[in-house]
Amino acid sequence: MKVLGIINLMNEKTFLKKLTEQRSLASVPFAGRYRLIDFTLSNYRHAGIKQVAVFTSGKFRSLMDHLGAGKEWDLDRHNGGLFILPSDHPDKNLTADIPAFYNYLEMFRRSPAEFIILSPGYHVGKIDYQAVIQQHENNRADITVLYKHYDGDLIRKPIYHKCRLRENGSVKDIELYSIPHKGDPICLETYVLKKSLFIEMIAQCFQNNEDDFLKDGIKAHLDQLHIQGYSFQGHMPFIHSMESYYASNMEFLNPDMIRAYFYEQWNISTKVKHEAPAKYSATSNVSNSFIANGCEIEGTVENSVLFRGVSVKKGAIVRNSIIMQKGKIAEGAYVENIIADKHARISEKTSLIGEVEPKVIKKSEIV
């Protein structure tokens, strides 16, 4: 069975603004060496998907650099492969995905795929799309909508879409932008449907001057199509703020979490960078931390995630923090509960402590 994977970055969330000023949400670094989009691409690879289209709006340079030709996800191929498709009108409504899809209808028509899986690029979870497609066919559904029962922390912002289900598991309604409560079935904005139906829906919505696939394509046709729900039971943190992003990274200090995500079932792949192993000097003191390749540790690191190439000088202390690629913590500096973006530099004897929430140091910022 041939499947076309679509990663929709047109309507990305804005809850990590301090980390997405120069990059898309999908390319935000995660768990020491990955980007958020790596999880979706790795799930596609596990499902045997050989053709993937990534629809982007703005700020896609970092994403293109990370994805390259898609070799790490078995997408560097003559037939199919990886397509990165920037918006034709980046100055207009960046959340309008239907016009973007419509511009590439001919590409969809030429694809040999029978089914389409449409996903966002920021979910940190291992979804078995083969099982999803199997249930989709068994139910003879027109569209299958993936959802997960909300198990995140209390929030008061209406940022998620809530599914309302019938007893037989079909979708009765989708409440757009609702405040989630514990146990609510939250739409993961991931859908399975036949390519022919997808093309028909996009063409019809575009002709009607409609621009949102979930609202105008799926929700508006709940009474006309057989739309089934698929309950995702695996672990997937709800990342909706800097605090939840921080907490989700810190989960990967748990060996059981590392084992479940990176060694069981299938691997999560990312862009390969050939760097030397981390180097620890005689003055280093490291405990309960994730230290990536290329790091040089001379000081103290506790309960922290350090990405590739981070330098912690003698006498420096890093506690409960996330330091991204090529970050530099100078001699005698003290940082606690911070998130430092790529190439950030903390000067000598500087003290930085995030009080109520993690303090964010922007990319290349010198403090």
Please list the alpha-helical segments (H only) found in 251-291: 255-262
Structural domains in the chain plus CATH codes? 3-262 (3.90.550.10), 279-361 (2.160.10.10)
Residue 263 is predicted with a pLDDT of 84
- Round the average pLDDT of the chain to a whole number and report it: 95
Q: What is the pLDDT of residues 24-55, one digit of tens each?
A: 999 999 999 999 999 999 999 999 999 999 99
Cα end-to-end distance, the chain, whole Å: 53
pLDDT at site 93? 45
Query: In this prediction, what percent of the chain has a pLDDT beyond 90?
Result: 89
pLDDT tens for 123-169 read: 999 999 999 999 999 999 999 999 999 999 888 889 999 999 999 99
For residue 353, the model assigns a pLDDT of: 98
For the stretch 177-195, what's the b/e string if a residue is b when 16 or more beta carbons lie within 10 angstroms of its beta carbon? eeebeeebbbbbbbbbbbb
SS3 8: strand
Per-residue pLDDT, averaged over 187-202, amounts to: 99
Q: In what order do the strands lie in the sheet with 311-312?
A: 279-280, 296-297, 311-312, 328-329, 345-346
Q: Region 198-227: what's the mean pLDDT? A: 98
Predicted pLDDT of residue 90: 57
φ, ψ of residue 165 in degrees (nearest 5):
-115, 150
Q: Facing residues of 290 across strands? A: 305
User: Distance between CA 176 and CA 158 in Å, rounded?
Assistant: 8
What residues have CB less than 8 Å from 198, skipping those under 6 apart?
108, 116, 118
d(CA 142, CA 285): 57
**Average confidence (pLDDT) over 289-307:** 98
The tokens describing 252, both together, are 């990967």
Q: What is the pLDDT of residues 83-126, one digit of tens each?
A: 999 877 655 546 789 999 999 999 999 999 999 999 999 999 99
Give the pLDDT confidence score for residue 128 in this predicted structure.
98
